[in-house]
Structures are given as C-alpha cells and as structure tokens.
Chain A
Amino acid sequence: MLQNYAGVGVFFLIAAIFPLILLATAWLVRPKRPSPEKLSTYECGLETQGPTWVQFKISYFLYALIFVIFDVETVFLYPWAVKFQALTLFAFVEMIIFIGILVIGLWYAWKEGALEWL
C-alpha cells in the first residue's frame, strides 16, 4: 500500500522544488535596476491604501464556520460513497436522514442571513 503513496511524495517534492527553480531562474535572468516606484507594493496597479492587515467582517467567519461543519460532513459521506454498492437500502435511508439533519442547519443559517454577502 505504501508504494501507492510514493507518487504522492514525488508530487510534494516537485511542488516544493518547481517554484524554487522558477524564482531562481527569474532572479538570474532579470535585470536589476530598482527604483522606489518599482519597489512599492503592487495592488492591481493602483496606489496602495491603508495597512496590509485589516480586520475582517464577522460574516466571513460565519462562512468559515459553516464550511467546517460541511467539511466534517464529507468525512462521513466519503466511506458511505466508497461502500455504496455493497450497502443496503437501510444505509441509504440513514444517510438521507443524516444529510436532512444538516440541511436543517443550512436552512437555519440561510434564514438567519449568515450566507448574505456584505
């Protein structure tokens, strides 16, 4: 089984090394004539405004919370999906109930306006 994960390891290595190669090549090839304008922070071509670190709105945090809940739900969904063909109708009904309970939560979040983009 572990041999199957060697590919994942190779992926990780390439993902770590490739950006370094890109940055190193760019550093070697590029001309170096800095000026204050060039060294200023890039913000879509406009002049930057205010500090970099700003306080987020609470509504973004609600998105994150709901995301975590449904992320945990996928942990339960995944084994069910893998074994779907071997499981009975009973398991299907169970999962429908499970999802139904969580949809109530989604409905509540919707009703409370937690999904509104401000």
Chain B
Amino acid sequence: MKAGSNLEKVLKEGHFAVTAEIGPPMDADGEVVRSKARKLKGYADAFNITDNQTAVVRLSSIAASVILLQEGLEPVMQMTCRDRNRIAIQSDLLGGSALGIKNCLCIAGDHQSASASGKLKGHPGAKNVYDVDSIQLVAILRKMRDEGLQEGGDPIKKRPALLIGAAWTPCGNPIEYRPFRLKKKVEAGADFIQTQAVYDVALFESQMKVAGELGLLDKTAILAGIIVPRSLGMMKYMNTSVAGVSLPEALIKRMSDAKDAAGADKELMKIKQEEEGIKIAVELIEQVRAITGVRGIHLQAIEWEDAITEVVKRAKLYPRPTF
C-alpha cells in the first residue's frame, strides 16, 4: 500500500470506486462542511474537498478535509498550483499528511478571472503563482512519498503517505492530445485519475481506448466524472460554457421534455427536471462502468447532496465496501 487510504483499499480489492465532491463554504462555518459530511457519510469511498474552486475564496481544503476526518469520512484534499509555490505546496502536503489526510488531487486550478464570472466579485486582480504545473506537482508528491525527497533534494524523514490523484479532461480540446497528457500524468506518478464530467460516452470510450493502447489503464485507476444535471439551463450552460464538457443533443432533449411535461407549474418543473437529472446520471454510470479501464466514478452534484445519495443508491453502489 502506498498510502493506506480507504480509496486505495477499495481500488486494490477491485471494487468499483465511488468518490464524491464537497465544496466548502465562503465563510468560517465549519458546520456547513459537517452537515454535508453527515448527509453523505457512507455513500462514497472518499470525498474530494475542493481548493477554492473557480478561484473563489473558501474555507481551506486542508481544514475542511480535517473536518471530514473528524466526522469519520475520508477526504481527498485538492491542491491547486494557482495559489501556492512549491514551498507552500510541499509544506501543505506535509501538514495535510500529519493531520491524517491520505489522498491528494493535484490540479492546476481555475484561473483567477473565473472568480468574477458569476454573481460574485471574486478576486480577478489576484496574482497567480503556477510555479509548478499539475503534472510537476504529481511528480513532486511522488518524489516526496516514494523517494523521501523534497523537490529541491532535501531528505524527508517521515514521508507524506498520500495517494496521488490527478484530473483528466478526456473530451477536451485538443482532443487528440488528451490521452498523451494523461500519459504524462501517469508517468509522473498519478495513482488515480478523476475525469471532467462525461456526457458524451462514445467520445469518452474512444479516448479510453487510446489510453489503453498507450498502456495506461493498468498503471492508474480512472474514475469517470459524473455531474448530476439539475436543470435544462444547467445542461445548456455546461454545453456552451464549460471547457471540455459537451452534451449530446439527445440528453439535452430529454431534459427539455421533462421540463415541458410539467406545464407551467414551476415547482413541478423543478421536480421533473431533478428526477430526469438523477435518471441520466444513473444511466451514465451504467454506461461508463461498461468501458474497459473505468475503475470507478467521481460524482458531483453542486450544492445538491441529496442527489449524491440517491444516485449512488439507484446505481446499486450502496452500501460501500468496508475494511
């Protein structure tokens, strides 16, 4: 075992893994994390804590991860390259490990301009760091854990035992390069991969095939990203405005039909769309599960925890394995 995390055990035993995402609040209220944790406990093998996602200032990933530990859930601490240089990153990896965190997802992070793209003011004028990129971060963490060396070469006596995760956007542009970028992540030391949301299953499958030809599928565990769609508006937004995500017209039409079926009743419209979204997510899980090399799913339902529990149950992925 590299880190001895629950996620690592699940994957090692050959179970179909489930990770889910928890977004910390924009204030100091740890209770928000605690209450989400209590709702979701037992529905995934590990829970990603986002690191100031979309560059919006939130309760820190390390702190929220520790709250999960206190609640008996296993965190995947996300670590972006946007806000820290290699000194701060390594310091936080050591600190996170000392606090009992056993999984880390290494990512570049959204550009700070994204922080002001919605209703929020954000911090679009912030200075970013990007001292290292996400692949270099994977390599740094692997060197710390497996060789007991800091990036600069100084020795580490007590090594950080962290399972190393990386993100992959299989359906993003330039599409033909994406499997090769995955290869770099795997070569750098990624133990598991969580993908950007998959809706175009055929395209994802063809990218997985290339990944297989590159010999990557037995070197890393790929967890396909599933975002539970909540409304027609959200699906359309993701299709046009979220890089690396494209939705087949047929799926959009299904949601559109569900919305129309409610007539003018707004409450019913919401119920119908949410129900359709959950159905779509469950079907996507079944479809990606059939693809060679998919070892689990990474489930996201933004500010909608009930969808996670419902989808996991309906996909017959509940209860989760225990050790």
- Please determine whether chains A and B interact with each other in the same assembly: no
Interfacial residues, chain B to chain A (CB-CB below 8 A): none
Seen from chain A, the residues whose Cβ lies within 8 Å of a Cβ on chain B are none
